[in-house]
């Protein structure tokens, strides 16, 4: 189904625990089992280790380090290089945690694929599967304003209008155990990420924290570290900076 003639790129919208890593690895394995090339890249080095054959986007695509300051950036890959041959032949590119990347990173990949493949269509005719959660960390721009960071998001790229969004909604991780507290914890963090709860947060971490990603969502939504308190294993409530 994914390898039909491409009209749109796909964006897999997923919160922590919905099975995105399992799904992307399944897609990669299926395509590779057919003898085709599937490229797995990630905006985060740690997250890249969770995908089979995963590498950071900057390493695999040779993205410029100063991409935010370039007007029309491209990937530093030539047609005759090994990486250029891989990008010409690959059937799919899976980009995990793409919401952390600057919009110009995706635009650089778009320009490079069109040049390498000699195809003026979107992404040079290659299928690109984007994965991420806009509730989590957005592009980090030193010495910038919140407006600069929002403008750097993928949603502000001219390519976003061609992207079809698919959402994973069922949290598979909380269903592993029978503790109802996990479901309440998951729901509360999603509400914080959606801006539906006040920016004061208390979190009970005496039970195992099932999702570091969703915990980061909570931490990133408070206005000040003074508003975040954690109930630790020792039974004491501490400010996160003093743990």
CATH number of domain containing 133: 3.40.50.300
The token pair at 157 is 């790229």
Q: Where is the domain boundary, 144, 168, 192?
A: 168
- pTM here is 0.74
**E-strand stretches of the chain:** 9-14, 38-42, 55-56, 92-96, 127-132, 163-168, 201-204, 228-231, 237-239
Judge whether 4 lies within some domain. Answer: no
Nearest-10 crossing angle of helices 212-221, 180-193:
40
135 and 218 together in one domain: no
* 187 and 159 assigned to the same domain: no
Residues 149 and 191 in one domain: no
In a shared domain, residues 41 and 150: yes
Question: Considering all CA atoms of the chain, what is the largest pairwise distance in Å, rounded to the nearest integer?
Answer: 62
Q: Is 3 a member of any domain?
A: no
Same domain, 64 and 136: yes
Q: Are residues 149 and 63 in the same domain?
A: yes
pLDDT tens for the chain, residues 1 to 243 = 344 444 457 888 877 778 888 899 999 999 999 999 999 999 988 888 889 999 999 999 999 988 988 888 999 999 999 999 999 999 999 999 999 999 999 999 999 999 999 988 889 989 999 998 888 778 888 888 888 888 999 999 999 989 988 888 777 777 666 566 666 767 766 776 666 765 555 556 565 554 555 566 556 656 566 666 666 666 554 444 433
Residue 1 lies in a domain: no
235 in a structural domain:
yes
Range of the domain at 108: 9-168
Where are the extended beta strands (E) located within 32-174?
Answer: 38-42, 55-56, 92-96, 127-132, 163-168
- The answer on 154 and 184 residing in a single domain is no
Residues 152 and 215 in one domain: no
Work out how many domains the chain is built from and give that number: 2
Beta bridge partners, 40, equal 94
Whether 133 is covered by a domain: the verdict is yes
């Amino acid at each position: 189904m994914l390898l039909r003639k491409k009209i749109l790129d796909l964006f897999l919208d997923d919160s922590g625990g919905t099975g995105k890593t399992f799904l992307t690895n399944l897609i990669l394995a299926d395509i590779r089992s057919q003898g085709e090339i599937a490229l797995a890249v990630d905006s985060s080095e740690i997250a890249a280790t969770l995908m089979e054959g995963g590498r950071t986007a900057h390493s695999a695509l040779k993205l410029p380090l100063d991409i935010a300051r370039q007007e029309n950036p491209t990937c530093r890959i030539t047609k005759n290089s090994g990486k250029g041959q891989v990008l010409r032949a690959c059937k799919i590119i899976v980009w995990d945690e793409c919401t952390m990347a600057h919009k110009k990173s995706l635009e650089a990949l778009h320009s490079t694929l069109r040049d390498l493949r000699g195809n003026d269509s979107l992404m040079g005719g290659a299928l690109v599967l984007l994965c991420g959660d806009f509730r989590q960390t957005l592009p980090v721009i030193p010495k910038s304003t919140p407006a600069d960071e929002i403008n750097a998001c993928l949603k502000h790229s001219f390519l976003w209008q061609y992207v079809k969004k698919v959402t994973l909604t069922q949290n598979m991780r909380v269903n592993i155990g029978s503790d109802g507290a996990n479901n309440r914890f998951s729901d509360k963090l999603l509400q914080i990420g959606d801006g539906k709860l006040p920016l004061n947060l208390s979190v009970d971490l005496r039970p195992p924290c099932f999702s570091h990603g969703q915990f980061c969502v909570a931490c990133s939504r408070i206005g000040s570290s003074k508003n975040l308190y954690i109930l630790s294993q020792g039974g004491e409530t501490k400010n996160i900076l003093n743990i």
